[in-house]
A = this chain, B = another copy of it.
Amino acid sequence: MAKRKNISAAQAWEQALTSVSRLLQKFDSNMQDKAGVSVIWYDVLLHLHHAPEKKMRMQMLSKSLVLTRSGVTRLVDRIEKAGLVRREAAVEDRRGYYAILTDEGEEALAEAQEVHRKDIRTHFGARLDKAEQQAVFNLMSKLRFED
């Protein structure tokens, strides 16, 4: 790895923020253009896809989302209107609702995923070798935090 002059924590953070943010914007517009789904929708669909029975309580979903923790009611409203998700009252707690991935939602997700994988390959995978990718994962894991 090339030697460079010493960097401050702020500069490192700045660089991470900028790169991630720009990449995300790129991924988003690509996904929107080619699969008709924004990364925010993708975020929702993916979480549901991985959830048991492909369903999640609104609150759980809201806490899991990476982008946007608020406005989930309306976000789900919109995705529901597009038919990619449906709602179902929770039998065990009548205050609650589940958001459930529909078959149509699965399909949309698959399509989005295809676009996304290609983007990751060309913009991320192609610029970092395996060891570097591993390093990114490890370093970023250390920064992870829940709230």
Chain A residues proximal to chain B, CB less than 8 Å: 1-2, 4, 6-13, 15-26, 66-67, 69, 117, 120-121, 123-125, 127-128, 130, 132-145, 147
Q: Are B134 and A22 in contact (CB under 8 A)?
A: no
A133 contact set on B, CB distance < 8 A: 7-9, 12
- Taking CB atoms, residues of chain B closer than 8 Å to A127 are 142-143
**A128 pairs with B139, CB closer than 8 A:** yes
Query: Which one of B11, B16, B132 lies within 8 Å of A20 (CB-CB)?
Result: B16
As for how many copies of this chain the complex holds, the number is 2
The answer to whether B69 and A137 touch across the interface, beta carbons within 8 angstroms, is no
- Residues of B close to A130: CB separation below 8 A: 6
Whether A143 lies near B12 (C-beta < 8 A) is: no
Nearest 3 pairs of A and B residues by beta carbon: A9-B125, A19-B143, A12-B137
Shortest Cβ distance from A147 into B: residue: B26
